[in-house]
Amino acid sequence: MPTTPTQATTATSHPAQTQDAIELLMDDHRAVEKLFDAFEKAKDDDVEAKSALVRRACEELTVHAMIEEELLYPAAQDVLDESDRPDVEEAYVEHYLVKVLIDKFTTLKAGEPGFDATFKVMREMVQHHIEEEETDLFPKLRKSGADLNALGEKLMQRKEELEAKIPKDAGDNTMRLH
Ligand SMILES: [Fe+2]
């Protein structure tokens, strides 16, 4: 969901409308899926569009992975039954693999061999990860009784902080937030 100027300027107070943690993360999922779809529709030789889409997807995925790892997964480890904790461990590993591919795009340029293939594999991995979260982890978290509204606020705040750190025109370094 786009950040309105009002929300951005009142980030320290409680925004008028907040999404709970799961709604926020699912919106992120839909946003990145749109980027994957747009890449698929881009003309084969449109390197400018492809490179912009990959850059945006990497930025979104980096921020998304960071807020999940810093806030959501530790909360999930706390509230889920012990038998469900391996799901969270699996999610960390999947994030790690996506980050390896994100890293490849710091040197791999649109039009070069392997660029489209790397993004395609990234899409498949992210899609699998999204499905697991949405069909398994998120419903379990909903049932757990965790305070998803409070967690949603924390996620939003951290997301805004990280997004503000993305340089507007930093060429190849935009994905490197940490
Ligand atoms: Fe995730």
Residue 17 pLDDT greater than 90, yes or no: no
Does residue 5 sit within a domain? no
pLDDT at 1: 47
| Ligand 1 center to 145 CA (angstroms) | 20
pLDDT at 21: 97
pLDDT digits (tens, 9 = 90+) for 161-175: 999 988 765 444 444
Residue 5 pLDDT greater than 90, yes or no: no
| Ligand 1 center to 174 CA (angstroms) | 20
Does residue 178 sit within a domain? no
Does residue 68 sit within a domain? yes
pLDDT band at residue 18, thresholds of 50, 70 and 90?
confident
Distance of CA 89 to the CA centre of its chain: 17
Is the C-alpha dihedral spanning 77, 80, 82, 86 positive or negative? negative
Does residue 55 sit within a domain? yes
- Per cent of the chain over pLDDT 90 is 79
Tokens (6 digits) for 71: 């806030």
Does residue 29 sit within a domain? yes
Domain span at 69: 19-173
Distance of CA 154 to the CA centre of its chain: 15
Does residue 99 sit within a domain? yes
CA gyration radius for the chain?
Answer: 17
Does residue 51 sit within a domain? yes
| Ligand 1 center to 38 CA (angstroms) | 21
DSSP code for 45: T
Question: Which residues are near ligand 1, the ion (C-beta closer than 5 Å)?
Answer: 68
Does residue 35 sit within a domain? yes
Per the CB < 8 A criterion, the answer to whether 50 and 39 are in contact is yes
Domain count for the chain: 1
CA-to-CA distance for 26 and 16, rounded, in angstroms?
20
